[in-house]
């Protein structure tokens, strides 16, 4: 522990700097919330739903699919949920086709299959279902269930974006930032990011903050960077929370506050973000924004060290 105490000041400063110099943009294969929780109804209406479903009513079949999925008025059963959702989807309704695609994607009530999921998404997307179009973009981007193609991903993202699908707006920003399937352009990336950010997309807010922070396509502004980073942090993004903590610690774009730096760092650390866990240990070690505690410092260093397999090794060094 003496070695830790002797080097902690340097490491605390270095950690804050590291956080402010790390800029990673990612689309990620992120799944939307789906099959909204069904609100319970009377047993009589449930019986009527069964009757209509057996007579081939697509909406009733879809309704039963949701009921079985969530165990609403019936015993929960993924198999039954899939069976009724499949019946509904085969009647051509885009919403039902999309949900069936999601069940294949996740392997709910059926063997997981990207190829079959892509097929059902495609049926829904051709009918203008924005979320299905977005998922075709994701799957084309990553080559899941179809040949990898940035060009195809862009095309589907554009279709979803035209309908105001915010996540598609963000992903278009990412692709223009990286020059994937399109000529690299910070200006266009910023346009897509801002569109999504103003509609509340946390990842877009974080990305826009980075553009201001590093002056990429925009006049460099620590203040504007902080404003957008805070919006993303308030929505729970751990990396944004770490940056907000570092900016409070250094007074970059905001009035310096060790207390607020600690508070935001803790939020990120509690979500399992390794750099924040390491930094929180350093704050406890030095007593910056919190009462000094070597016990707490060691606990957070250990938590960060457990994630060394993800490439985060500073905590291991502290524990030697």
The domain ranges of the chain are: 1-23+239-320, 57-90+93-126+129-146, 163-235
Question: Euclidean distance between the first and final Cα of the chain, in Å?
Answer: 9
Domain 1-23+239-320 adopts which CATH fold? 1.25.40
Mean pLDDT of 137-159: 97
Q: What is the mean pLDDT of the chain?
A: 87
pLDDT of residue 53: 94
pLDDT of residue 8: 39
pLDDT of 185 strictly over 60:
yes
Domain 163-235 adopts which CATH fold? 1.25.40
pLDDT of 308 strictly over 80:
no
pLDDT of 28 strictly over 50:
no
Question: Is the CATH code 3.40.50.80 the one for domain 57-90+93-126+129-146?
Answer: no
| Least confident interval from 37-46, 56-65, 145-154, 209-218 | 37-46
Model pLDDT for residues 235-283, shown as the tens digit of each residue:
999 999 999 999 999 999 999 999 999 999 999 999 999 999 999 999 9
pLDDT of residue 314: 52
Q: Side-chain half-sphere of 130: how many Cα atoms within 13 Å? A: 12
pLDDT of residue 30: 44
Question: Are 102 and 133 a contacting pair, CB within 8 Å?
Answer: no
Name every residue whose Cβ is closer than 8 Å to that of residue 27 and which is 6 or more positions away in sequence: 138, 141, 171, 174, 175
The predicted model scores a pTM of 0.83
Model pLDDT for residues 206-216, shown as the tens digit of each residue:
999 999 999 99
Question: Do 1-23+239-320 and 57-90+93-126+129-146 come out as alike in CATH topology?
Answer: yes
Model pLDDT for residues 205-244, shown as the tens digit of each residue:
999 999 999 999 999 999 999 999 999 999 999 999 999 9
| Least confident interval from 11-15, 37-41, 296-300 | 11-15
């Amino acid at each position: 522990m003496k070695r830790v105490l002797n080097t902690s000041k340097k490491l605390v400063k270095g950690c804050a700097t590291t956080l402010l110099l790390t800029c990673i943009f990612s689309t990620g294969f992120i799944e939307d919330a789906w099959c909204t929780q069904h609100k319970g109804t009377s047993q009589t209406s449930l019986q009527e739903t069964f009757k209509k479903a057996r007579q081939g009513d697509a909406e009733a079949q879809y309704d039963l699919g949701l009921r079985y999925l969530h165990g609403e008025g019936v015993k929960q059963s993924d198999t039954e949920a899939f069976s009724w959702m499949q019946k509904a989807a085969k009647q051509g309704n885009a919403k039902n086709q999309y949900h069936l695609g999601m069940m294949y994607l996740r392997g709910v009530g059926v063997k997981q299959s990207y190829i079959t999921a892509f097929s059902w998404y495609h049926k829904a997307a051709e009918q203008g279902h924005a979320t299905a179009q977005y998922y075709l973009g994701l799957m084309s981007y990553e080559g899941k269930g179809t040949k990898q193609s940035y060009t195809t991903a862009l095309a589907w993202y554009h279709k979803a974006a035209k309908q105001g699908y915010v996540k598609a707006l963000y992903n278009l920003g990412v692709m223009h930032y990286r020059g994937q399937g399109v000529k690299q352009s910070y200006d266009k990336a910023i346009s897509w990011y801002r569109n999504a950010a103003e509609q509340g997309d946390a990842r877009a807010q974080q990305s826009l903050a980075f553009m201001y922070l590093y002056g990429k396509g925009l006049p460099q502004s620590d203040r504007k960077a902080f404003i957008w980073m805070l919006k993303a942090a308030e929505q729970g993004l751990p990396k944004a929370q770490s940056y907000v903590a570092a900016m409070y610690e250094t007074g970059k774009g905001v009035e310096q506050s060790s207390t607020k730096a600690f508070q935001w760092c803790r939020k990120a650390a509690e979500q399992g973000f390794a750099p924040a866990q390491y930094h929180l240990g350093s704050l406890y070690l030095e007593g910056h924004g919190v009462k000094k505690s070597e016990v707490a410092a060691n606990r957070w260093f250990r938590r960060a060290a457990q994630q060394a397999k993800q490439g985060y090794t500073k905590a291991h060094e502290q524990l030697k």
